[in-house]
Structure 1
Amino acid sequence: MEDIAVLREKVDAVDDQILRDLVQRVKICRAIGELKKQQGKPVHDIHRETEVLKRVRERAEMLKLDPDKIERIYREIVNMCSSVQQ
């Protein structure tokens, strides 16, 4: 059995990966925002937001995670990414 310190290091590594992935998501969303500006499209796309939230809820259920909690997390991520498109 691993000790708590080793397991915490693994959690820290996962957290670091989550942050790197969020940075990548923000970069992609900025690029999308630039394209939306060039094409005269609005930043906020409720249809896409609904699709994203539906998809992550379904994935959460498949992965035995609480879909309500995952949706709350993703709402914050979507809001953060929308703000960088402004």
Structure 2
Amino acid sequence: MQDIKQLRKRIDEVDEQILQSLSERAEICRCIGQVKERSGLPVQDFPRENTVYAHIREKAAELGLAPSHVEAVYRQIVRMCSAIQDSERKRSETKLEN
């Protein structure tokens, strides 16, 4: 049986992977935000968000996780990514004004 220190070390490693994945997701969202801005599309895309949440709930259930809890986490992630896109758009608009 592993001791608690070893298990916590594994959690720390998984947390690092999660953070790396969040960083990668944020960068992709920045790129998507640029495409949306050039195309005149709004930051929020509710149909896409609903598709993401449905997929996440399904995958969570397959993995034995509580779908509602995982969806809550993903809602925060989507909120973070929308804020990044919004911030980038405002920064771009400020540059155009100057």
TM-score normalised to the size of structure 2? 0.87
Give distance in 2, aligned partners of 1:83 and 1:28: 13
- Matches of residues 62-81 of structure 1 in structure 2 within 5 Å? 62-81=62-81
State the shift of 1:40 in Å.
Answer: 0.5
What residue in structure 1 maps to residue 84 of structure 2? Answer: 84
- The one-letter amino acid of 1:8's match is R
* Structure 2 segments unaligned to the other structure (5+ residues): 87-98
What residue in structure 2 maps to residue 36 of structure 1? Answer: 36
> Which 4+ runs in 1 deviate beyond 4 A?
none
Instruction: Return the index of the structure with the highest Cα Rg.
Output: 2
Q: Deviations over 1:5-43 (max 9, x none)?
A: 011000000000000000000000000000000010111
RMSD: 0.4
State the shift of 1:56 in Å.
Answer: 0.2
* Structure 1 segments unaligned to the other structure (5+ residues): none
Q: Identity percentage over the alignment?
A: 48
Give distance in 2, aligned partners of 1:8 and 1:84: 31
Aligned residues: 86
For 1:64, what is the secondary structure of its paired residue? coil
State the shift of 1:80 in Å.
Answer: 0.3
